[in-house]
Structure formats: C-alpha cells, structure tokens
Amino acid sequence: MPDDATDDAVRRMMAPEVAAGDIDLSVGEPDQALPSGLVEAAVRSLRAGRTGYTPKLGLTELREEIAGDIERASGFRPALDDVVVTLGGTGAVAVALAAVCVPGGGVVIPDPAWPNYRVLAERLGVTVHTYPQGPGGDGMIDLEAVAAGLRAGARLVVVNSPSNPTGAVASAAALRALVALVREHRAYILSDEAYEAIVFSGDRAASPLAHGGHDVTFSARTFSKTYSMTGLRAGALISPPEFRVAVAALHGTTAGCAPVTAQLVGIEALRSLPDRGRDLAAAYRARFERALSALGPWAQDVSLERLGGFYLWVDARRTGRTGNDLSDRLRERGVVVSSGTVYTATDGFLRIALTADDDALDKALTIVREVLSMDGTTDER
Ligand code: PMP
C-alpha cells in the first residue's frame, strides 16, 4: 500500500499542466499576488545588479530577520549559526531528512502527510513508519504510534502543523509531549512549519523549538505561502547545533545558495509585512466557512479554531469510490483537485486547495458536491 501513495505522489509531480479554463484547486499555491512592495524590492534588486551568488547559508541580514521572526512568533530566538536559507521549505525538508537519515534507519511521518517526506525517505533507503494524525489540538500526534516507530529504530519524527492536507494545528502540549518522547529515544523532530503563520485562531502555530525542543528540532519554514512567492524559492531550516556541519555540507552542495532575488524579497517581506500571515488566515478562514457550507453533508466536522493553512480535506469514503475516480470525474467537469491517495494509503479522500476567488470556489464546490452525491450518497454523518 505505501508504494501506491509514493506512486500517486510521483505521478502528480509529473502530471501535465492543468487545461485552460479549468478551476485548479490542486496545488498549494496562494492565489493572492506578490504584494506590490515585494515586487518593487525584486525589481530594485535586479536593476542594482544583484544577480550573483550569496554566501551559501544565505544573506546574514536575512538570517537575522528570520531569527527575529521566529522570536516574535514563539519567544525563542535561534542562534544565527543554526539558520540556513534554503530552496523553499522543500529544500529545508530535504536537507533535514538527508542530515539525519542513514540507510537502514527509520523515520516516523504523519498519516496523512505531504508526500515529500515519504518519497525522499524511501529514496534515501530509510524505513518509513507512520502515526495516525488526529484532529488539531492535544490529540494531533499519536504518541503510542510514534513510540513504536522510535522503538523500531527511527531517529526522526515529522510533525506538520498546520497540516497539509488536513489543516490540523497541534497544541503546545502535544508538541511538548513529543519533545519529551523524542528525547527519551535520542531522536529528533522535523517540524514542517510551512503554514505556521496561517492559523485560523489568529495566532502563529506553536513550534517545538519554543517548547523545550530547540536542541532536538529541525524547523523547516518557507516564504512561499505567507508571501505568495512559491516560484521565487526561499525558505529556511533551523537545525540543532550538532547538525551545523551536516546541514551546511548538504545545503551547500545541493543548492549552492537560495536565489538572491528571493532572499532580498524575503528581507523586505519580514521587515515590511510581519503580520501578513494573520491577514491571510482571516481570508482563508472566511473561505473555509464558505466552502464548508457549500459542501453540505460532505463538510468535515472540525473546529476552525484548531485549523490553519488552506486545504480542505474531504472524507468521501461513503461514496464507495476511490480518490482517483472522484478526482477524474471532477476533472471531466473542469475542477482539478488532488486525490487523497497522494497523502495516504487509505482511499476515498480528496484534498481541495481553497486558492481561488469566491465565485470560482462556489462554482467548483457546487460541482464537488454534485459529483460526491451522484450515487444518492448524501446522508449526514
Ligand atoms: N511543507 C509542506 C507541508 C508543504 O505543503 C509545502 C508546499 N506545498 C512545502 C513544505 C514546501 O513549499 P516550498 O518549497 O514552496 O516552500
């Protein structure tokens, strides 16, 4: 079964572009434009001839801004030496996995999860264990299942809050408990914080960095989502001090450095728009509410206070159809969403990115509801 999840994830990476006219709710790409002040920063930097390499670990000014942003959000300020500017969150996750994983070792990942963890771990020859990811709050991380993976030899536990694909946000207590467990097993945490600024309660998501775990936590971060700059490719990895050399070697040899334009835009972003995530969260919360009511009986039963990000995870198992079948049928009607099989081996889920304006979303969600209900399956849960 896990192979299927990998196959679907890789097939999605290789999928052709979406047809013109389709409503694409399949990619984690904010539909808001890059803020104009950041466009200006990019243009200014190019006109000033800033097109060369930066230091491998990134511009010092940016690394300082990133450390400051983490401190603002969490109260914990990482040492500059432990902050590396990466090729987006993707680069941060890849470097952290490669730094800890050794062939024959193991990693524990959430189920469901963003596919990169599994795809890369399998390529690195590492055994993948999973823990069922619960709804947000204290119960998000199944510590029993994590402990089983650690006893089986895993050295790294991945947590992703807010989650792609479910939106669940972990409580600080859940993260503190994870830190204690990981410490007991001399293992590490990879906290993927790609959506940490987009939390519907209006707060920033808790990080294990600030809950007793700074020396056992890799924090993977990105400018992509909060600042609508997915294609500029800048993120950051905060690492436990003992991994400084491994991280520098892996990032330096695979990325060279993050793109200079993105780094300069990143500095401007953190200086001029520190609360951008909160504004986005308010916008996505409103879309979520709209989407849940449009989906009617297919809406998940969740508390928005414990959700974030911009994905709606739809449990369509009672249609009796597969995620691939449902997403094919939606594509035929001009709506592109992700089959849940990209994220989990349990079939019958869809992931819908709420990354379109209200009119497009209303249109798309009406079609989703029709397709899910086509066999007369509309009973309330
Ligand atoms: N982590 C998660 C959970 C994601 O969903 C994504 C993007 N879809 C990323 C990391 C990385 O994004 P990027 O490389 O654009 O920063």
pLDDT at 381 over 70: no
Q: Can you give the residue ranges of every domain in the chain?
A: 8-33+276-372, 36-272
User: Is the CB of residue 196 below 6 angstroms from any atom belonging to ligand 1?
Assistant: no
CA of 90 to the centre of ligand 1 (A): 6
**Average pLDDT value for residue range 185-213:** 97
Instruction: Please tell me the distance from the alpha carbon of residue 329 to that of residue 53, in angstroms, as a whole number.
Output: 46
The number of the ligand 1 atom at minimal distance from the alpha carbon of 160 is 3
User: Is the CB of residue 28 below 6 angstroms from any atom belonging to ligand 1?
Assistant: yes
CA of 12 to the centre of ligand 1 (A): 15
**Model pLDDT, residue 244:** 95
CA of 194 to the centre of ligand 1 (A): 6
**Average pLDDT value for residue range 311-337:** 96
User: Is the CB of residue 90 below 6 angstroms from any atom belonging to ligand 1?
Assistant: yes
Q: Is the dihedral of CA 128, 134, 136, 139 positive or negative?
A: negative
* Cβ neighbours of 370 (radius 10 Å): 12
pLDDT at 27 over 50: yes
3-state SS of the chain: helix, strand, coil percent to 5? 45, 15, 40
pLDDT confidence tier of residue 376, bands split at 50, 70 and 90: confident
CA of 182 to the centre of ligand 1 (A): 24
CA of 374 to the centre of ligand 1 (A): 33
Query: What CATH fold (topology level) applies to the domain 36-272?
Result: Aspartate Aminotransferase; domain 2 (3.40.640)
- Tokens 């952290």 belong to 96
Which amino acid is it at 34? Answer: L
pLDDT at 1 over 60: no
- Tell me the CATH number for domain 8-33+276-372: 3.90.1150.10
pLDDT in tens, 249-300: 999 999 999 999 999 999 999 999 999 999 999 999 999 999 999 998 998 8
Peptide bond into 165 cis (omega under 30): yes
Nearest CA to ligand 1 atom 9: 89
- Tokens 């808001």 belong to 32
Please list, in sequence order, all residues whose beta carbon lies within 8 angstroms of the beta carbon of residue 37, skipping any fewer than 6 positions away.
268, 272, 273
Distances (CA, A) of 105 to 98, 124, 173, 239: 11, 9, 28, 20
User: Is the CB of residue 163 below 6 angstroms from any atom belonging to ligand 1?
Assistant: no
* Cβ neighbours of 300 (radius 10 Å): 15
User: Is the CB of residue 164 below 6 angstroms from any atom belonging to ligand 1?
Assistant: yes
**Model pLDDT, residue 161:** 98
Name the nearest CA neighbour of 197 among 174, 177, 169: 169
pLDDT in tens, 116-134: 999 999 999 999 999 999 9
CA of 375 to the centre of ligand 1 (A): 35
pLDDT at 379 over 60: no
For the ranges 6-10, 322-326, 329-333, which has the lowest average pLDDT?
6-10
CA 370 to chain centre: 29
pLDDT in tens, 136-181: 999 999 999 999 999 999 999 999 999 999 999 999 999 999 999 9
**Model pLDDT, residue 19:** 83
Phi, psi torsion values for 142, nearest 5 degrees:
-80, 100
Element (H, E) at 312: strand 311-315
Instruction: Please tell me the distance from the alpha carbon of residue 110 to that of residue 377, in angstroms, as a whole number.
Output: 29
pLDDT in tens, 40-79: 999 999 999 999 999 999 999 999 999 999 999 999 999 9
Instruction: Please tell me the distance from the alpha carbon of residue 182 to that of residue 158, in angstroms, as a whole number.
Output: 11
CA of 254 to the centre of ligand 1 (A): 18
User: Is the CB of residue 45 below 6 angstroms from any atom belonging to ligand 1?
Assistant: no
Which amino acid is it at 225? Answer: K
User: Is the CB of residue 230 below 6 angstroms from any atom belonging to ligand 1?
Assistant: yes
Peptide bond into 78 cis (omega under 30): no
Instruction: Please tell me the distance from the alpha carbon of residue 269 to that of residue 38, in angstroms, as a whole number.
Output: 7
The number of the ligand 1 atom at minimal distance from the alpha carbon of 91 is 14
∠ Cα 317 323 325 (to 5°): 115
Please list, in sequence order, all residues whose beta carbon lies within 8 angstroms of the beta carbon of residue 242, skipping any fewer than 6 positions away.
215
CA of 286 to the centre of ligand 1 (A): 22
The number of the ligand 1 atom at minimal distance from the alpha carbon of 28 is 8
User: Is the CB of residue 300 below 6 angstroms from any atom belonging to ligand 1?
Assistant: no
**344 near 317, Cβ under 8 Å?**
no
pLDDT confidence tier of residue 106, bands split at 50, 70 and 90: very high
